[in-house]
Amino acid sequence: MQNISEEWRDPASRDGEGHGDGAQGKPHADAERETLMMELTRLVQKSVRESSWWERRGIDCSILTAAFISLPAGFLLLGSSQPLYFLLGLLIMGIAHAVITVKGTHLSSHGALSESPAWTDFWAVFFIEVCGSFSARAGVHAHVKMHHAHTNVIGLGDSSTWKIPFLPRSIYLFIAPLAVPIITPIVAIGQLKGQSPFQIVRTVLCVCLGFFSQYYLLRCVSGLSCSSALVVMLLCRAMFSLPYIHVNIFQHIGLAMFSASQRPKRIFQMTHGVLNLPRNPLLDWTFGHSLISCHVEHHLFPFLSDNMCLKVKPIVSRYLKEKKLPYLEDGYVSRLHLFFHKYQELMVFAPPITELVGIQ
């Protein structure tokens, strides 16, 4: 899990890796495609170099800090006998939990919170295990080394882990996500197989620390009973589960899918297999721009923070459009409508493999 950000520091250098026979025998075309990614990388890196620390990391660190600072108010309000104050406390806790466990875990998994390898590892363990109740090693492997390295490649990074074919569409889209807080630590236990004794003990202790810390504070600060504290924990942790599941399936499933032996070059893989949702004030700030309105930018440059993804968005979109490359965008409601009416095709049946004629 060390040097997570360095693994993606130069996406253009990975452009010629791991591609199948479809790209053989076309040196001039390959050189042109590599030049596209390298040219875009230079434009983005120039913007990054010209940006201050505040732009590169400070804004996102401040949002995460604000989420932690809001927690005492949330705990105190949850102890109120006034329904309005209690609901306000529940809302604060739910939003703070989403910011910490979605935005925080995502940025830390990519090493976007610090340039130091030691701090990168620390923040990954803190956000993913203590706050997110999951294994940091398994989370980084699944997200960074599989999903990002093999985006929309069948059997590797095709987002199939989000599919539960036996569930009816209404249950999957609107009810099952509410069980995410319960399912997450259970899945984490299964992911411990094959890890070292140290990593297993660390993960178990960190997950327990995060869970019982919140439970203790709800009991002692908010004054809730045992059962009430558990219910509040479930409500807070499940508050953003619906959009969390939706976002994870909307931005990849239903787009171009590739075979491991014949995948296109990186810039074509990401522009055909990743989709941006429109700006959403609530989700952009709780989940992060890189998961909502800048997902294409994030997949092209995974080491960037949320704010930097937003800053380079005009550069990336303009460049891709100038080069006649796809820049996929669609609305949240539009994607929900599509998945509801084509649930079998998208979430049950195996996806067709896309062959990009002329660039494969």
Average pLDDT over residues 318-329: 94
DSSP annotation of 80 reads -
| Torsions phi, psi for 258 (to 5 deg) | -125, 155
pLDDT for res 23: 42
Amino acid identity, residue 97? Answer: H
Question: Helix count (H) and strand count (E) of the chain?
Answer: 18, 0
> How many Cα neighbours within 13 Å face the side chain of 209?
14
pLDDT tens per residue across span 218-260: 999 999 999 999 999 999 999 999 999 999 999 999 998 998 8
pLDDT for res 9: 43
DSSP annotation of 293 reads T
| Torsions phi, psi for 151 (to 5 deg) | -55, 125
User: Tokens standing for 34?
Assistant: 């590599």
**Which residues make beta-bridge pairs with 258?**
153
CA angle, corner 128, sides to 131 and 79, nearest 5? Answer: 10
- Please give the biggest Cα pair distance in the chain: 73
Handedness of CA 257, 149, 146, 279 (dihedral sign): negative
pLDDT for res 176: 94
Return the percentage of the chain with pLDDT > 70, whole number: 89
Measured CA to CA, the distance from residue 190 to residue 123 in angstroms comes to 22
Residue with more model confidence, 164 or 157: 164
pLDDT at residue 8 greater than cutoff 70: no
pLDDT for res 199: 93
* Mean pLDDT rounded to a whole number for the chain: 89
pLDDT at residue 352 greater than cutoff 70: yes
pLDDT tens per residue across span 298-320: 999 999 999 999 999 999 999 99
pLDDT for res 157: 80
Confidence at 177, pLDDT banded by 50, 70, 90: very high
Average pLDDT over residues 279-284: 93
pLDDT at residue 322 greater than cutoff 90: yes
